[in-house]
Amino acid sequence: GTGLDALIKAKGKKYVGFATDQGEFGNTGITNILKAEGGCVSPENSMKWDATEPSRGSFNFNGADALVNFAQTNGKMIRGHTLLWHNQLPQWVKNIGDKATLTTVIQNHASTVAGRYKGKIYAWDVANEVVADGGGMRSSVFSQVFGDWTFLDVAFKAAKAADPNAKLCLNDYNINFTGAKLNTFVQVVKDLKSRGVPIDCVGTQTHTSVGGSDIPNYKNTLTTLAGTGCEVQITELDIAMSTTTSTSALQQQQRNDYKTIVSACMGTSACSGITLWGVDDANTWITGKHPLLWDENFAKKPAYQGFVDGINS
Ligand code: G3I
């Protein structure tokens, strides 16, 4: 093939992926691109706690099954996203006040969701966004009830038992910037390893901005993440414009920025794959900021060529 996934595989990486979900499978503009250009899919919302276990012990896999079926029908890998997150978390979980109950609930959730797709998931974002923006532990029901990071031990061990061959990741945003958040993230991963907790990979989401100050330094932050000894994955890449008007200057800068980020992965042996958080600029969580590789009419943007140039760099 000639798509992005074929190009990156020819250079020794594992995949180029896209976030999607059932609601997009009727859009042939999107599915044609997923099939031709992608090697992996991430569920944008369908595997999150509010979707999969809206009330305790009552599971709903409609959206998640549709995503998995799409992937399997089309021969795509899957990144599971996500078993434990403070956002899109049902109120019944937030209301739990004691550690014994919360432990059981995390174990049951992680083992049920990961167990359902055992053998089908390349990597799981076992936990998402557990580090506070200024460093340290993010405030959540998990951190408050446990009082330390060991809610992660519970989640990773349950995921490992449920799907022993899936790579288990810790995922976060803004760790593409140096500073306290990245430092805490790296320390948490090292501490998990030192406690014997099964963690295989780190995910750097990389929701960033055209011309962002993190981008010239991106290879350094990937190297820092690789220093954990884990596989590194770019899990939610998009590069938003500062304005809703997509000028040709911004498009060229965006092209350069995609090249820089993709090139950094290519130059980092621990970096195994790159997932874009959506396909086209009409279907993205960052409405109006033109963050992706295809425009609103599914035409390739200069950013697409930047991605290709990054792979070939
Ligand atoms: O499902 C309901 C629907 O029933 C309701 O009618 C509709 C009305 O607003 O809302 C629907 O839920 C929305 C959901 O997406 C599914 O479409 C939520 O309002 C909306 O907030 C939610 O946004 C998602 C966001 O996570 C929520 O935190 C985005 O699609 C998704 O792209 C985004 O993804 C996150 C990653 O999981 C983690 N990293 C950051 C990234 C971007 O925010």
Distance CA 98, CA 76 (A): 40
Atom 19 of ligand 1, nearest CA residue: 88
244-303: pLDDT as tens digits: 999 999 999 999 999 999 999 999 999 999 999 999 999 999 999 999 999 999 999 999
- Cβ of 88 closer than 6 Å to ligand 1, yes or no, is yes
Total domain count, the chain: 1
% pLDDT > 90, the chain:
99
Compute, in angstroms, the gap from residue 87 CA to the centroid of ligand 1: 10
Backbone φ and ψ for 23, nearest 5 degrees, come out as -60, -15
57-109: pLDDT as tens digits: 999 999 999 999 999 999 999 999 999 999 999 999 999 999 999 999 999 99
Q: With contact defined as beta carbons under 8 Å apart, do 135 and 180 qualify?
A: yes
Atom 43 of ligand 1, nearest CA residue: 285
CA of 285, closest atom in ligand 1:
32
pLDDT band at 217 (very low <50, low <70, confident <90, very high): very high
Candidates 42, 44, 173, 292: which one to mutate for ligand 1, based on the most atoms within 8 Å of Cβ? Answer: 44
- Cβ of 37 closer than 6 Å to ligand 1, yes or no, is no
Give the pLDDT mean for 146-175: 99
- Cβ of 205 closer than 6 Å to ligand 1, yes or no, is yes
Identify whether 236 is a catalytic site residue.
Answer: yes
Give the pLDDT mean for 39-48: 99
Host domain of residue 210: 4-311
CA of 82, closest atom in ligand 1:
37
Query: What are the CA-CA distances from residue 28 to residues 74, 103, 206, 255, 299 (Å)?
Result: 14, 43, 27, 25, 13
Q: In this predicted structure, what is the pLDDT of residue 2?
A: 84
| ipTM for the predicted complex | 0.95
Q: In this predicted structure, what is the pLDDT of residue 204?
A: 99
Residue 141 has pLDDT above 80, yes or no: yes
Distance CA 249, CA 221 (A): 27
Those residues with Cβ within 8 angstroms of residue 104's Cβ, 6 or more apart along the chain or in another chain: none
Compute, in angstroms, the gap from residue 197 CA to the centroid of ligand 1: 30
Backbone φ and ψ for 131, nearest 5 degrees, come out as -95, 135
Q: In this predicted structure, what is the pLDDT of residue 1?
A: 73
- Cβ of 50 closer than 6 Å to ligand 1, yes or no, is no
| Paired tokens of 202 | 């780190």
- Which CATH number fits the domain that encloses residue 90? 3.20.20.80
Give the pLDDT mean for 140-168: 98
1-27: pLDDT as tens digits: 789 999 999 999 999 999 999 999 999
Compute, in angstroms, the gap from residue 45 CA to the centroid of ligand 1: 6
CA of 81, closest atom in ligand 1:
37
- Cβ of 104 closer than 6 Å to ligand 1, yes or no, is no
Compute, in angstroms, the gap from residue 48 CA to the centroid of ligand 1: 10
Q: How many CA atoms lie within 13 A of 19 on its CB side?
A: 23
- Cβ of 228 closer than 6 Å to ligand 1, yes or no, is no
Q: In this predicted structure, what is the pLDDT of residue 187?
A: 98
